[in-house]
Amino acid sequence: MILGKHINRYYLKFLHMYILGTIALVFVDYFQLKVPELYGNVINGMNGAEWFNMEYLIRDVCIPLAIIMATIIVGRFLWRICFFGSAVKIETDLRNRMFEHARLLSNQYYQVNKVGNLMSLFTNDLDTIQECMGDGVLMFVDALFLGILALSKMWKMDKVLTGFALIPMALMLIIGTIVGKSMTKRWDIRQQAFSDLSDFSQESFSGFAVIKAFVKELKELAAFRKLNVQNEDANVSYTKISVMLNILITLLVESVICVILGYGGYLVYTGKFNAGKLVEYIGYFSSIVWPIMAISMLIEKTSRGKASLKRVSELLDAEINVTDAEDAQDITSLVPGGTVRGGIEFRNLSFRYPDGENEVLTDCSFTINPGESVGIVGKTGSGKTTIVDLILRTYNVPDGSIFIDGQDINRLTIRSLRNCCAYVPQDNFLFSDTIARNIGFAFDDIDEAAVKNAAVLSDVDSNIMEFKEGYNTILGERGVTVSGGQKQRISIARALMKDAPILIMDDSVSAVDTNTEKVILRNLRENRAGKTTILIAHRITTIESMDKIIFVDDGRILAVGSHDELVRSCPEYSRMVELQKLENEAGGAENA
C-alpha cells in the first residue's frame, strides 16, 4: 500500500469498493481455513475412529468442502473486481489529472523535462502505481487477515510451537523493512535509466534524417548502447536485491516448516498432538505461507510504488507559473462593444527567461495600432520570437509592460488573450490527422468551405488537391509526408482560418519560394485588411511594404517606422538592407 498527497484521496473515493473487497477476502480467508480442520478430521478418522463412515464423509466432509469451494470462488471473483477494478479506475483518473496538469504547465517546464521522461511517467510509473493500488492493497489485506486468522488458530492449538514459528517471521519483517528502503532507491534509479533511454530513443527517431545525413548512425548506436547498458545495470541491481529478498523469505519459510516438523513431531511423540492435529497445524501454516510471501512482494511493490508515486507527484506538484491573476477578466468584457481591435503596446519591457542569466529584451517600447501590418526584423537571437511569445503570455511579464487594446495583459484571462490571437509558430507543428482537421484545428466543427478558403489564401490548395485523398489526406506518422514549404503553408492556413484580431507569423514564409511568398503576402494584405498582422522575417523584402517595421537588435528596439523611414533614420537598418541586397545579387550571379 502506498500513501501520499496525490493517492490518499482514492482510498476514500473507492472506500466502498475496498470495504466490499475486504469483506469478500475475509470470507474467503475464513472459509479457506476450514479446510485444514477437515483434513485433520479425515486423517484422525482414518486412524480407526468408529464415527468415521460414509455418512460422516458425505455430511461432514464432502458437503462442507463443496460449500467452502463455492464460497471461495464467488468471494475471489468479487474481491478481484473490487480491488483490481478500483486500481484501473484510479490509474485512469490519475492519468487524466496528470494530463490536465501537464496542459497547464508553461513552456519552461517542457524545456527542462524531456518528452521521453514524461512518457515513462504516463506508462511505466502509472502501471506500477496501479499494481500497488490493486495487488498491493490485496496483499496487504490478505496478509493481515489470513495471517491473523491462521496464527490465532495455530496459537490455540499450541502456543509454544507457534511462538517458535513466529521468530523467523518477525525476522522476515525486519529484513523486509530494511531491504525495502534500498529497493525504493534502486527502483528510482531504474525508472530514471528507463526514462533516459526513452528520451534518447524519442530524440533519435525524431532526428533520424539529420543522423543519416551526417552519417552519425554509429555514433548514435554507441550512445544508445551505453544508455542501454546503464538501463541493464539498473535493472540487474534492482533484480539482485529483489531476488535476495525472495530467497531470504523462502529460507525463513522453510525454517518455520523445519520448526513445525521438529517440534510438532515431538508433540505427537509425547502424545500432546495426534497425526490429524499435526496435519491440521501444517495446513494452517501452509495457508500463511502465501501471506508471508505476500509480505515480501508487498515490500517490493510498495518500494517501487513509492518511487513511481514520487516521480508522478513531481509532475502533479510542478508549479503552474503562467496563470490567470485573481482579478483577470475576459478581454471581450473590457473592450468597447466586446470587439478586440488588435492594438498592441509594449511599455519599457525588460525580460529575462526564468532560467536565463541575461536580459533577452531590454527596455522595449513600441505601439502597434489596430489593423496595422507589422514586420519584425533583426539578427538571429535578437529577441524577435521572444517578443511575439510574450504577447501570447507564454511567460510571465511584469505588470504594465504589455497592453492589448489598452488592457494590461496580466489583467486578462490567458484563454481570452490567446483566443484573440492566431499564431504560426516557427516549427509549424502539424498533427497526425487529416489536412482538413489540421487547418480547422481551432474549431470543433469543420466548415469545409472555410478550410478550402484558408488553404487558397495560403497558396496550398492546389498542392492539397494533388493528393489522392485531398483534404482528407492524413499527415505525419500515419500518412503522407509533406515538404517544409507545404507544412508552412498548411500552418498558415490553420492560423488564417481562425480569423483572429491579431495574427502572428514567426518566420512563416522562409521555406517558400519568392513567388509563393508574394502570393501569400498579397492575400494577407487583402484578407486581413483592418486586422493586425505581425510577421517576423529574415528577408527585408518580405516586410518592406508593411505599415510598420520594428527593428530589433540585441534585445533592444532600435527603430520603429515604415521601411523608407527606417532606411533614412536608422543606419543599422539601412546597412542590413544593403547587406541583403548584396547577398541577393551575389546569389543571383551564382545562379546565373
What is the per-residue binding string for ligand ADP in 92-131, x denoting contact by CB under 6 A? -------------------x--------------------
Asked if 356 touches ligand ADP (CB under 6 A), the answer is: yes
- Min. distance of Cβ 395 from ligand ADP in angstroms? 8
The SS3 call for residue 347 is: strand
- Min. distance of Cβ 139 from ligand ADP in angstroms? 46
Residue from 100, 105, 112, 98 nearest 321 by CA: 105
- Min. distance of Cβ 381 from ligand ADP in angstroms? 4
Out of 270, 380, 481, 515, name the contact with ligand ADP by CB under 6 A: 380
Out of 32, 130, 382, 410, name the contact with ligand ADP by CB under 6 A: 382
Residue 128 CA to residue 303 CA, distance in Å, equals 10
- Min. distance of Cβ 350 from ligand ADP in angstroms? 13
Nearer to ligand ADP, 48 or 356 (CB): 356
Nearer to ligand ADP, 157 or 344 (CB): 344
Asked if 393 touches ligand ADP (CB under 6 A), the answer is: no
Asked if 270 touches ligand ADP (CB under 6 A), the answer is: no
Q: Which stretch binds ligand ADP (CB under 6 A): 152-160, 197-205, 349-357, 468-476?
A: 349-357
Asked if 384 touches ligand ADP (CB under 6 A), the answer is: yes
- Min. distance of Cβ 568 from ligand ADP in angstroms? 24
Chain positions 357 to 376 lying near ligand ADP, rule: CB under 6 A, are 360
Out of 31, 353, 441, 467, name the contact with ligand ADP by CB under 6 A: 353
Q: Which stretch binds ligand ADP (CB under 6 A): 238-246, 352-360, 399-407, 487-495?
A: 352-360
- Min. distance of Cβ 118 from ligand ADP in angstroms? 17
Q: Which stretch binds ligand ADP (CB under 6 A): 41-49, 166-174, 378-386, 412-420?
A: 378-386
Asked if 385 touches ligand ADP (CB under 6 A), the answer is: yes
DSSP 8-state assignment for residue 5: T
* Contact (CB, 8 A) for 451 and 439: yes
Nearer to ligand ADP, 264 or 378 (CB): 378
- Min. distance of Cβ 355 from ligand ADP in angstroms? 6
DSSP for 501-540, written as a single string: SEEEEESTTTTS-HHHHHHHHHHHHHHTTTSEEEEE-S-H
* Contact (CB, 8 A) for 213 and 190: no
554 dihedral zone (left: phi>0; alpha: psi -120 to 50; beta): left
- Min. distance of Cβ 504 from ligand ADP in angstroms? 12
**Sign of the alpha-carbon torsion through 342, 366, 569, 539:** negative
CA angle 541, 573, 401 (to 5 degrees): 100
Q: Which stretch binds ligand ADP (CB under 6 A): 56-64, 91-99, 219-227, 379-387?
A: 379-387
Asked if 321 touches ligand ADP (CB under 6 A), the answer is: no
What is the per-residue binding string for ligand ADP in 156-185, x denoting contact by CB under 6 A? ------------------------------
| Binding residues with ligand ADP: total (CB under 6 A) | 13
* Contact (CB, 8 A) for 166 and 254: no
Residue from 365, 495, 372, 478 nearest 428 by CA: 495
* Contact (CB, 8 A) for 44 and 274: yes
Nearer to ligand ADP, 381 or 400 (CB): 381
Nearer to ligand ADP, 111 or 483 (CB): 111
Nearer to ligand ADP, 110 or 208 (CB): 110
381 dihedral zone (left: phi>0; alpha: psi -120 to 50; beta): left
Nearer to ligand ADP, 271 or 356 (CB): 356
Residue 560 CA to residue 549 CA, distance in Å, equals 6
**Sign of the alpha-carbon torsion through 453, 457, 461, 464:** negative
Nearer to ligand ADP, 149 or 536 (CB): 536
Nearer to ligand ADP, 361 or 439 (CB): 361
- Min. distance of Cβ 351 from ligand ADP in angstroms? 9
How far, CA to CA in Å, does 56 sit from each of 31, 435, 576? 20, 78, 107
Nearer to ligand ADP, 283 or 555 (CB): 555
C-alpha cell, 444: 470543433
How far, CA to CA in Å, does 471 sit from each of 466, 477, 493, 584? 10, 17, 12, 36
Q: Residue 182, Cβ neighbours under 10 Å: how many?
A: 15
**From the CA atom positions of the chain, what is the Rg in Å?**
36
Asked if 333 touches ligand ADP (CB under 6 A), the answer is: no
Helices (H), 216-372: 217-270, 275-317
Asked if 381 touches ligand ADP (CB under 6 A), the answer is: yes
Nearer to ligand ADP, 198 or 386 (CB): 386
DSSP 8-state assignment for residue 333: G
C-alpha cell, 167: 521468530
Asked if 383 touches ligand ADP (CB under 6 A), the answer is: yes
Helices (H), 105-135: 107-112, 115-120, 126-131
Chain positions 67 to 96 lying near ligand ADP, rule: CB under 6 A, are none
- Min. distance of Cβ 561 from ligand ADP in angstroms? 19
Residue from 280, 285, 264 nearest 149 by CA: 285
Residue 586 CA to residue 271 CA, distance in Å, equals 111
Nearer to ligand ADP, 124 or 488 (CB): 488
Report the relative pairing of strands 421-424 and 502-506 from DSSP bridges: parallel
Q: Which stretch binds ligand ADP (CB under 6 A): 178-186, 288-296, 383-391, 454-462?
A: 383-391
* Contact (CB, 8 A) for 60 and 52: no
DSSP 8-state assignment for residue 473: P
Chain positions 534 to 563 lying near ligand ADP, rule: CB under 6 A, are none
* Contact (CB, 8 A) for 120 and 192: no
Q: Which residues contact ligand ADP (rule: CB under 6 A)? A: 111, 353, 355-356, 360, 378, 380-386
